[in-house]
Amino acid sequence: MGVSSVARSAQSSLDLQYFSRFLRRNFYWIPLLVFTVWSLLPIIWSISASFKGAIDVYASPRLIPEHPTLDNYVRVFTYPNFSRYLFNSLFLSLTSTVLAVAVSSLAAYSFARYNFRLRNVLLVAILIPRILPRASLIVPLYRMVEQAGLLDTYIALIIAYTATAIPFATWILTGFFVAVPKELEEAAATDGASMWQRIRHIVLPIAVPGLVTVAVFSLREAWNEFPFVLALTTSSEIRTLPYQLFLLRDAIGIQDWPLLNAFTIVTILPILLLYLRFERNIVSGITQGALK
């Protein structure tokens, strides 16, 4: 009996040591798992609810629908003016992204190649619009747009979207442009290449990861933008998908959760697919831009 007790004690000690080593080696997985579950659970619930009927959402708490249906997605795509809202989101997002990448590329090249006075001060000051809460900009921006006669126009939203995307894009691209060897540009200049030719054929191709990163982030911000659309538009002709989703929840009275969740999934799906496609480029772009 004594030998058996000693053996059990030794086995328990070994098990405890093994468990302790396991925790030390895999401790970082625990918060990562908790964070992943915390982040994905609302999305999983929304996907589940989008395939349920209006009564099933309340009657069946299961994540896997007992009687899945595509009726909610049919209702989304046949919703009045849905194609118009989709077009507005695409047009505003793509246009502002192209403008933001173009302007920030020129600004980043200037910061990377020219050592002018107050360079570092300006590089920090350009981030001020990112620091300020977006809600604090609504009133002055509304007054400026109203005085310019641009209320309820695409131009006002494109300017607002582009202006909010430029600071972050400039910071990321400055790091990439600094890392481009000056010798390559000097050799091209010796062969007669102009500054624009050097930027187009040397700097930009090398900085493609940074360009992809800022383009995806700019597109995401423009696609998900809500406060500017709420403040600067009045007609349904300029509404975007996120804004219509907000109005949909307020307009239908009793909440039709299946329809709301189907509309939500359709709204976030393009950005989600974009992130999955360029996930490696985005991570490496942010890391390289920060280190350089």
Q: Which two tokens stand for residue 235?
A: 């007609």
Give the per-residue pLDDT at 138.
86
Q: What digits encode the pLDDT tens for the residues 239-248? A: 899 998 888 8
In this prediction the pTM is 0.81
Q: pLDDT at residue 278 above 80? A: no
Which pLDDT belongs to residue 24? Answer: 67
Residues 236, 185: contact at Cβ < 8 Å? no
pLDDT for the residue numbered 40: 84
**Each residue of 183-193: pLDDT tens digit?**
888 888 887 88
The mean pLDDT of the chain is 82
pLDDT at 106 over 50: yes
Distance between CA atoms of 122 and 242, rounded to whole angstroms?
34
Q: Take residue 68 and report the two structure tokens written for it.
A: 């899945």
Please determine, for residue 207, whether its predicted confidence score (pLDDT) is greater than 80: yes
pLDDT of residue 290: 46
Give me the residue spans of the domains in the chain.
2-50, 71-291
**Distance from C-alpha of 29 to C-alpha of 241, rounded to nearest angstrom:** 36
The fourth-level CATH superfamily of domain 71-291 is MetI-like (1.10.3720.10)
Kindly report which listed range (72-86, 110-124, 139-153, 239-253) carries the lowest average pLDDT score. 239-253
- How does residue 14 score in pLDDT terms, banded at 50, 70 and 90? low
Kindly tell me if the per-residue pLDDT of 39 is higher than 50. yes
Give the pLDDT score at 96. Answer: 95
Q: How far is CA 186 from each of CA 154, 196, 204, 205, 259, rounded to the nearest angstrom?
A: 42, 13, 16, 16, 59
